Amino acid sequence: MTNFYTKLLLLFLVVGTFSLSLSSVAKAGGYTVSWIPNYKTDCPSSCKQTMVKFAIPGGVNANTGRASFFVCITEVGKEWRTGYNQWEKNSCTIGIRGKEHQGKKYYCLCSTVPQSPMK
C-alpha cells in the first residue's frame, strides 16, 4: 500500500498545489480541477453530476488494469486528509496510525478532461 500512497503524492505534485479550502479551483494545462462533494456515490459518479465531469484516478486495479482508485479528501477530527475512493464505494479511505479509516463525508478531485491513472 505504501507504493500506492507514493504514487498518489506524485499525482498531487504533477497536478499542482491545491488549497484545501473546499471551494478551490485550479487551472493546469488547459483544464480545470476542483474538489467536488460526493453525492452519496463514488467519485466517478459524483464528478459526472458537475461541470468538472471526470474523477482523477490515483491508481489501477492490478487484475483488470482499469482505473479503480480515485483521489479524495475526508475530514478526520479537524484535519482534511488525502485518500482514495474505490469504484462503486461511498467512502474515502485514508491511513491513520497503520490502519485504514473510511470517511463518509468526503470530496472528490475532478477534472474537465479525462486523466490517465498513475501506473
Q: Using one digit for the tens of pLDDT, what is the confidence trace for 19-37? A: 333 445 556 567 889 999 9
76: how many CB neighbours lie within 10 A of its CB? Answer: 13
118 within domain boundaries: no
The pTM (predicted TM-score) of the whole model is 0.72
Alpha helices (runs of H) in 19-64, residue ranges in sequence order: 43-48
Q: Is residue 27 part of a domain?
A: yes
* pLDDT at residue 12, rounded to an integer: 47
17 in any annotated domain:
yes
Q: Residue 48's pLDDT band (boundaries 50, 70, 90)?
A: very high
User: H-helix or E-strand containing 110?
Assistant: strand 106-111
Distance between CA 48 and CA 111 in Å, rounded?
A: 10
User: Is residue 103 situated within a structural domain?
Assistant: yes
- Give the amino acid at 43: C
Letter for the amino acid at 89? K
Tally of domains within the chain: 1
Calpha distance 43→117 (Å, rounded): 14
What pLDDT does residue 25 have?
56
For residue 21, being part of any structural domain is answered with yes
pLDDT for the residue 26: 58
Q: Which residue has the higher pLDDT, 64 or 111?
A: 111
Mean pLDDT across 58-84: 89
Would 9 be classed as within a structural domain?
Answer: yes
Position 48 in a domain: yes
Asked if the structure places residue 117 within a domain, the reply is no
In which band, very low, low, confident or very high, does the pLDDT at 77 lie, cut at 50, 70 and 90?
A: confident
Q: Which neighbouring-strand residues pair with 36?
A: 108
- Domain of residue 104 covers 2-111
- Pick the residue with more confidence: 94 or 12? 94
Output the pLDDT for position 9: 46
